[in-house]
Amino acid sequence: MIVITPPERQYIEGLASDIIDVASNCICKVHLRIPGASETDFRKVLDSLEPAYHQHIVLCDHYALLAEYDVAGVYLPYRRVAEWRDIPLAPHQTIAVGAHSLQELQELPFTPDYALLSPLFDSISKEGYQGNSALLSCREELLKLPYPVYALGGITPERQETVAKAGYAGVAVLGDIWSQPQERRQERLDQYQTPAILTVAGHDPTSGAGIGVDTRIANDLSVQCYSVISTLTAQSLRRFVCATATPSDQLQTSLTTLLTDHPVTVAKIGMGQNLQQAVQIVAQMKALGVKRIIWDPILQPTAAEETQPHLWTEEQDKLATLLHEVSLVTPNKPETQALFGTDDPTELQRIAQEHGVAILLKGGHDTTSPHLVVNQLITRDGIYPFYTHRYDKSIHGTGCMLSAAIASYWAMEYSLVNSVQRACHYLTTIFAGQPNRPGRQLLCPKIFREDRKKQHLYAHFALQYVTNESDPDRLYNKVSQYLEAGGRWVQLRLKEATTEERIEMGLRLRTLTDRYNACLLINDDIIATIAVDADGVHLGKRDCPPQEARRTLGNKYIIGYTVNSRDDLPRALAANIDYIGVGPYRDTQTKALLAPILGLEGISQIAQQVQETDRSYTTPLIVAIGGIQPEDAETLLSKEDIDGIAVSGAIEHATDMAHTVSQLQCGTSNYPR
């Protein structure tokens, strides 16, 4: 579902709250359309939104703002489609177009992620703007387009079925929502259908894989999941007995019946009888209007299941046909080698370019790193790695879960890159709560979604210990003493170390911080943060940009950012960060490149500017940094605009750790304020 902002709102006052109301209560893209508005007006709206809401926003004008705001994408009216090459889209962003005729869509110079076609019915928001009934009679042509088309113009919940049967992927709504009183908008939004996907897969009696887990994952993400059974299996979590394929005529009847009345734009196929059956299923899906098909090939047995004999790679013609028709293939390493004869990313990109398909090489079988899984999305245009912490790899059905999550996000009109990224984060969140028991499948994803990392931040932010010791054993002992003395926030800072060295040390420290229910951050290393499953990362000005870090880590991780002057604030405040380290308070020997001293007054001025910034979302915490001694703590923490302190040397050189930590905390039992 797509919601377009009200056209009569030439002013920006209140528009941000309207967007929040809509984006908070339904799964949709919000097209930010303010006719005649300036770039400054657009900027004011975006600045009034928490960065988490930017992921819903599609810019309808002033595309240069893409350089500053991490929005979902852009929308081009047909008169501006020639500009598409000049728009600086990132891989995770989408591009949409608007048209008023089928011919305009057929003559586009590029393939958009989706399109709007209007007006189907008499407009609700524009009096006298009449609908074009011919747009309800072009089902066959719409089904042939390689991208989904959304119906616009006079859309109401009652007209959704008519629109769906006419071949449209969904609806774009304007007047029907904004003409409602504010107190009735949510009720009206609830009458619109949620995004939907289709899964054609095997039935696993344990519900750990196949259509059982596909449906659970999609529903957990508030996406409707239709299903057609391709194979019935006899198996348990520990052994596989046999599989019986659904007859082809039954499959065809099921697909035709379902997709005629319940069209979807995204589908995934899993376990099937053979490659020929997969080709037939995909061809039928495409003929019935499915635009994006994910093929999750089941070629390699896992610890809990067996599959059909490995004959698929002997039928190269069928494989080539399938690769030309599907959008994404999601093999693990053994499956990749069986399908393509290689798992080399460069060679796989050549295959992706040849067949026009994306390949997600799942990294669970690659044990190069004992702590990190690297999933690589390989497209015609690039190779995009996504890092996740390595959990018990014998969890049943992880491949099905990942592809179902990708399909669900893709149905929400996120880009493919963004959908894969979000799906990886989603599964990481689920796995983090699982008991470390071989063969265990996920029974209910939602109950494991704890916001533990952010809870740690708000419980312990008054005092942060920034390590400066390079010897692993001395560092471990110092952190142990600090935690035993009552400290609960540690930042592992190893500037000269490699990522693997940070991971090794971080894992040692995590055993300590877990024991004390303390917070562990890693300085300037996102990959190590993920591998260790630390609570977050602290970034300096020369490190990874905070917006990129948030895209990579997702919202559950803590992100801190260093600010040394007022000039650094715009970059910090444009990103969705959790705290700002402001300093240096005074001269310090722990940093080689020291910024100008701010002192108490300078830190307070920056903190005050942060408080005064016009933002409708949570203001990041302010943590004073740089040369802070125990005797400074009470002065700093007594300031209303300073929330915590970060200390290195005073803790590193403490002869009485308990006394030093007590002084630094200076009776902070009232924190957080």
Across the strands, what pairs with 374? 387
Q: Are 126 and 110 in contact (CB under 8 A)?
A: no
CA 171 – CA 167 distance, rounded (Å): 11
In terms of C-beta density within 10 A (0-12 exposed, 13-18 middle, 19 or more buried), how is residue 673 classed?
A: exposed
**Is residue 543 part of an annotated ligand binding site?**
yes
Q: Are 65 and 59 in contact (CB under 8 A)?
A: yes
Q: Are 526 and 554 in contact (CB under 8 A)?
A: no
Ranges of beta strands (E only) in 130-280 are: 149-152, 170-173, 196-203, 224-235, 240-245, 266-269
**Is residue 206 part of an annotated ligand binding site?**
no
**Is residue 215 part of an annotated ligand binding site?**
no
**Is residue 590 part of an annotated ligand binding site?**
yes
**Is residue 632 part of an annotated ligand binding site?**
no
Going from the C-alpha of 671 to that of each of 385, 604, 663, the distances in angstroms are 39, 19, 15
- Dihedral through CA 446, CA 409, CA 72, CA 610, nearest 10? 10
**Is residue 627 part of an annotated ligand binding site?**
yes
Half-sphere exposure of residue 587, counting CA atoms within 13 Å on the CB side? Answer: 1
Q: What is the longest distance spanned by two Cα atoms in the chain?
A: 83
CA 566 – CA 158 distance, rounded (Å): 53
Question: Collapsing DSSP states into helix, strand and coil, what is residue 222?
Answer: coil
Half-sphere exposure of residue 637, counting CA atoms within 13 Å on the CB side? Answer: 25
Strand order in the sheet with 292-295: 240-245, 224-235, 196-203, 266-269, 292-295, 328-329, 358-361, 372-378, 383-389
CA 109 – CA 89 distance, rounded (Å): 17
In terms of C-beta density within 10 A (0-12 exposed, 13-18 middle, 19 or more buried), how is residue 394 classed?
A: middle
**Is residue 524 part of an annotated ligand binding site?**
yes
Sign of the CA dihedral running 566, 576, 522, 651: positive
Q: DSSP letter for 494, please.
A: -
**Is residue 655 part of an annotated ligand binding site?**
no
Give the DSSP letter string of 410-456. HHTT--HHHHHHHHHHHHHHHHTTS---TTPPPS-GGGG---HHHHH
- Closest by CA to 449, choosing from 432, 436, 464, 462, is 432
**Is residue 495 part of an annotated ligand binding site?**
yes
Q: Which two tokens stand for residue 566?
A: 């007022």
**Is residue 188 part of an annotated ligand binding site?**
no
CA 132 – CA 120 distance, rounded (Å): 5
In terms of C-beta density within 10 A (0-12 exposed, 13-18 middle, 19 or more buried), how is residue 499 classed?
A: middle
Report the 3 state secondary structure along 595-664.
CCCCHHHHHHHHHHHHHHCCCCCCCCEEEEECCCCHHHHHHHHCCCCCCEEEECHHHHCCCCHHHHHHHH
Distance, first Cα to last Cα, the chain: 41
**Is residue 589 part of an annotated ligand binding site?**
yes
Specify the long-range contacts of residues 654-662, CB closer than 8 Å, at least 24 apart.
Answer: 654/481, 657/481, 657/482, 657/484, 657/485, 658/484, 658/485, 658/486, 660/485, 660/630, 661/463, 661/482, 661/485, 661/486, 661/487, 662/485, 662/486
How many other β-carbons are positioned within 10 Å of the β-carbon of residue 142? 21
Across the strands, what pairs with 244? 232
Task: Tell me the binding residues.
Answer: 491-495, 523-524, 543, 562, 588-591, 627
Known binding site for Mg(2+): residues? 524, 543
